[in-house]
A and B are shown apart, each in its own frame.
Chain A
Amino acid sequence: MTGIVALYIFLLAAFTGYEVIARVPVILHTPLMSGSNFVHGIVLVGAMVALGEAVTPLEKTIGFIGVLLAAGNAVGGYVVTERMLEMFKSSGTKPSGGSRGAH
């Protein structure tokens, strides 16, 4: 990949990120932050390549720590985001009938 192509990707991705969440309501700030935290867990693929190409014991050790941390970022980010979003329900879909439940 040439530098200028990478720069184009960088520019377009920056605008995309801004646009995608520009109108997010406050109620979703915490889950969305957690969700974007999960997305940068993609660092895992880079850490895998770094460890895969590591040669000396030092490189292997640091690479191992990198993969370990990255996997934690990806999996942890996914689990907590999923747990939070799973709970968001509207009154239309409420499981325990509140208004209809009276005798």
Chain B
Amino acid sequence: MPDFFSADALIQGSYLLTAFLFIMGLKRMSSPVTARSGILWAGAGMLLAVLVTFLYPGMTNYPLIIAAIVVGSLIAWWSGKRVAMTDMPQMIALYNGMGGGAAAAIAAVELYKGGEHDLVTMILAVVGGLIGAVSFSGSAIAFGKLQGLIKRSFRFGGQQMFNLALLIGALVLGGMVALHLNTSPAIITGFFVVALVLGLTMTLPIGGADMPVVISLYNALTGLAVAFEGFVLGNAAMIIAGTVVGSAGTLLTQLMAKAMNRSLGNVLFSGFGDTGGAAAGEVKGSMKPIEATDVGVMMAFASKVIIVPGYGMAVAQAQHKVWELTQLLIDRGVTVKFAIHPVAGRMPGHMNVLLAEAGVPYDIIADLDEINAEFETTDVALIIGANDVVNPVARTDKSSPIYGMPILNADKAKNCIVVKRGQGAGFSGIENALFYLDNTRMLYGDGQKAAAELISAVKAIG
């Protein structure tokens, strides 16, 4: 029985408290009211765990440990503080990849060191190392794609077979190490190299639009790798935190894939993510332009307005102007709501972050299920920077690549105003039938400029 005041008891007790703080923190992060405090709870848990780990018996290399923590923290702090909210998804991918790399590094140290581990421990060390290494290099590719560093998707015939061969190769090499058949450094190094290459070749063929699901999956995988390495080290905090993230991340991945109308298998093993110019169905009618002053009058005297923002609004940095317009309308007694499609940003929930940055309170932001019934009683639906997510062909045209995707029913509103730079088709290259409807008017121009014009139009009414 450990002495109550021993270093070991202190460490184990602190890890227990850390696990509690992590779980409570995540729980609080799943509601917008308490979310802010959730990260503070989890942060306190992390700080506690790191501090008591310095008391771990039998440790050396303290200068190296402190130097690595300081350098890693400073780089991450600096990059995390200055990243734009629009670039948040790839930043999460990057930090996640670092965690995977760290789990692989722990596995590498343990395996190179050799020593007397039992079979289960060896297998977990190897599997954790494999998952961590795949998550590391895969996340790096995800970062590169979303950051625009990697422009195209690399595909070649037999790619699936090639990846399968790599996976089998990694498992064979890892198995030789785990079973103590051959634990020479060359075999261990080969194992990690194959695992890293597998992460690259698995992620390269996946299109940019599917990347959020992939990032979420790697997040879950890193959690699992951390849990496995925690088992190897006999570290309960790592097992609990890693497993909680592994299962929460898996659920989150499923929710995201569902919100984007994609199955996980589809994402990983097919290449829809960036369909080129899919043959667009013929659309009858014409686009009817409108002036900002007319839209201003229409909105100012409406009783209900729903704004449908898309990624285009964020690219144009128009969200602040849109919120200013919203406040003007609210002051006139107009009911204004924001309707967010799950894929409105780069990943589910991303648009909410971008609107929150502009100061839009979360309780006037509604998601698809909450708001779709309300469009029929809406006077003006203002669509700004969104395209495919309001395209009614997703409901009707079976031949369309977006058929079956849940859309926002903006076409059901009495008036539809589409803010758009030009007459081109959307991200997926599909003509938007909404633009040609009788109740739709096009307000051409850059999102930011159009919003500014609408503000002065509403102000002019007085």
* Chain A interfacial positions (CB closer than 8 Å to B): 1, 3, 6, 9-10, 13-18, 20-56, 58-60, 62-96, 98-99, 101-102
Given known pairs A47-B106, A76-B91, A91-B363, the reply for A17 and B247 (CB within 8 Å) is yes
Contacts of A70 in B (CB 8 A): 72, 98-99, 102
Question: Which among B244, B330, B349 is the interface contact of A99 at CB below 8 angstroms?
Answer: B330
**A-B CB contact pairs (8 Å), 5 listed:** A29-B348, A43-B226, A69-B72, A73-B95, A87-B357
Contacts of B30 in A (CB 8 A): 20-21, 23-25, 28, 32
Contacts of A64 in B (CB 8 A): 64, 67-68
A103 to chain B, nearest CB (A): 10
| CA distance in complex: A54, B268 (Å) | 37
Question: Is the CB of B81 closer than 8 A to any CB of chain A?
Answer: yes
Contacts of B352 in A (CB 8 A): 26-28, 30, 88
A54–B359 touching, CB < 8 Å: no
A76–B94 touching, CB < 8 Å: yes
Contacts of B56 in A (CB 8 A): 48-49, 52
Question: Which among A47, A66, A89, A99 is the interface contact of B359 at CB below 8 angstroms?
Answer: A89
| Residue in B88, B98, B237 whose Cβ sees the most chain A Cβ within 10 Å | B98
Contacts of A68 in B (CB 8 A): 68-69, 71-72
Contacts of B255 in A (CB 8 A): 24, 26, 29
A92 to chain B, nearest CB (A): 8
When C-beta atoms are compared, the residue in chain B nearest to A13 turns out to be: B243
| CA distance in complex: A64, B70 (Å) | 12
B229–A43 touching, CB < 8 Å: yes
Question: Which among A35, A73, A102 is the interface contact of B99 at CB below 8 angstroms?
Answer: A73
Chain B at the A interface: SS class: helix
Interface-lining segment among B39-47, B171-179, B385-393 = B39-47
Question: Which among A1, A25, A33, A56 is the interface contact of B92 at CB below 8 angstroms?
Answer: A33
B120–A3 touching, CB < 8 Å: yes
Contacts of A91 in B (CB 8 A): 361, 363-364
| CA distance in complex: A98, B364 (Å) | 13
B113–A59 touching, CB < 8 Å: yes
| CA distance in complex: A82, B88 (Å) | 12
A93 to chain B, nearest CB (A): 8
Given known pairs A27-B352, A40-B223, A62-B112, the reply for A17 and B105 (CB within 8 Å) is no
Contacts of B109 in A (CB 8 A): 50-51, 53-54, 59, 62-63, 66
Contacts of A82 in B (CB 8 A): 39-40, 43
A76 to chain B, nearest CB (A): 3
B219–A18 touching, CB < 8 Å: no
A50–B88 touching, CB < 8 Å: no
| CA distance in complex: A74, B103 (Å) | 13
A56 to chain B, nearest CB (A): 8
Given known pairs A52-B56, A87-B357, the reply for A45 and B238 (CB within 8 Å) is yes
Contacts of A90 in B (CB 8 A): 32-33, 361-363
Given known pairs A1-B234, A88-B36, the reply for A43 and B103 (CB within 8 Å) is yes
A40–B242 touching, CB < 8 Å: yes
Given known pairs A9-B236, A27-B352, the reply for A18 and B251 (CB within 8 Å) is yes
B361–A30 touching, CB < 8 Å: no
A37–B226 touching, CB < 8 Å: no
A36–B252 touching, CB < 8 Å: yes
A67–B229 touching, CB < 8 Å: no
Contacts of B75 in A (CB 8 A): 72
| CA distance in complex: A56, B349 (Å) | 46
Question: Which among A6, A58, A60, A85 is the interface contact of B36 at CB below 8 angstroms?
Answer: A85
Given known pairs A21-B30, A98-B331, the reply for A63 and B81 (CB within 8 Å) is no
> B15-55: which have CB < 8 Å to A?
18, 22-23, 25-27, 29-33, 35-36, 38-40, 42-43, 46, 49-50, 53-54
Contacts of A43 in B (CB 8 A): 99, 102-103, 106, 222, 226, 229, 238, 242
> B231-267: which have CB < 8 Å to A?
231, 233-249, 251-252, 255-256, 259
| CA distance in complex: A72, B216 (Å) | 18
Contacts of A32 in B (CB 8 A): 26, 29-30, 252, 349
Question: Is the CB of B374 closer than 8 A to any CB of chain A?
Answer: no
| CA distance in complex: A35, B25 (Å) | 9
Contact indicator per residue, chain B 293-314, by CB within 8 Å of chain A (1) or not (0): 0000000000000000000000
Contact indicator per residue, chain B 356-371, by CB within 8 Å of chain A (1) or not (0): 1101011111010000
A94 to chain B, nearest CB (A): 6
Given known pairs A36-B223, A72-B76, the reply for A21 and B26 (CB within 8 Å) is yes
Q: Which 10 A-B pairs have the closest CB atoms?
A: A66-B105, A71-B72, A52-B59, A79-B80, A29-B349, A76-B76, A17-B247, A70-B102, A73-B99, A30-B349
Contacts of A31 in B (CB 8 A): 29, 35, 349, 353
